[in-house]
Structure 1
């Protein structure tokens, strides 16, 4: 399974499939369309995935500067820095335009996938997802070390997920060890917000919870797992690759000079 390198129509179709699944699995509070640019904004959470312009057609290159201006005004109204999320669907024309404007490039991430057909899950824990969103969010904030002020926004996003979302937490008594969200969407199982509590890392908790979630998703008809991970997160990349995940394509973010 080779990484995406060129951009033929067949490759772009694969990318579009995962991009669409990502939008459904992690929905922004407000979505606007400017041609095939999807402008996603979320007042309650600062995450870049939820606050970015996502171009979805390399051929949509008309009036770029004018459309950037319109997007900038929307971002300004939300108090967010103008951010483009650049996948293979963004195309070279837009990339060169941003290069000429001196836009910064940062936070490259990988989209990875794993066929579930041959994955050995017999020994994985049979775990029922949490029904209590508040309890899960509390555990997730602790494992990820995130600020409690993000609770309302995270609750809003999780509550808006349209496909079936499994909220998984591995706990020792009342102490959360690892958490993740598994979104079952047709034949796809997307893993989001995967985190292990700092003092409990390198003990296999994340691996065990991922396998439990994938077992749950496969029983519901999922045939392929997928996830997004920052290229600089070497421990997570090592874990995912050891499970058999392979890179499909990459994306990164861009902001104008001084943003």
Structure 2
């Protein structure tokens, strides 16, 4: 997320936690908590940067239900887990552009960046994998065959979902059940929902502050599953449970479960 988006989301969390729905009795345990890019630790030289095995291991340790991770292809078509096109923001290596770098060189220069195969072998069937596609199968044809091979031992919609901010990126995977395909909205909620309904993908995710109850009820009536993010306050988890949300995505998943908070003390 850009910095301004983080600021707006933090403000929304502080404001919406005052919503009356946050105080209506609900069962947050029914929600499935997804750690956005893992339970990462922010900061230069972090021991658990986002989208790394260390960040995902923290989710496993604390029994987080699922992890969201971003997938890009290297120059030679290997799927790796990294959000940005280049590696400057996290690793101070803006000279390394993933699409222009072979996997061998990437592994040599930045071993922290995992191959998708490493993630599926380590966490498959232990954590639910919410896999966001950052590139189009139309421009990067190996994406289809690589994901099919890497995810072959897992059951779609049960063990993993494919996500994208661009609904067409999921159209290359229509061999999967529709329930495994999730369209993600940022501020373009109406447009994403329109495309989701037209394409028949089975799930939608968007901002907890922008998906109102009328829209949620319409999506539920259409048989859609729904995720909201980025929820970073426990009171809003209660609100989302009351509203019938299926998944809650969070940048701060360890703050949302009192059991985890107690473990961390």
- TM-score if structure 2 supplies the norm length? 0.31
Q: Which has the higher helix share?
A: 2
Q: Which has the higher strand share?
A: 1
- TM-score if structure 1 supplies the norm length? 0.31
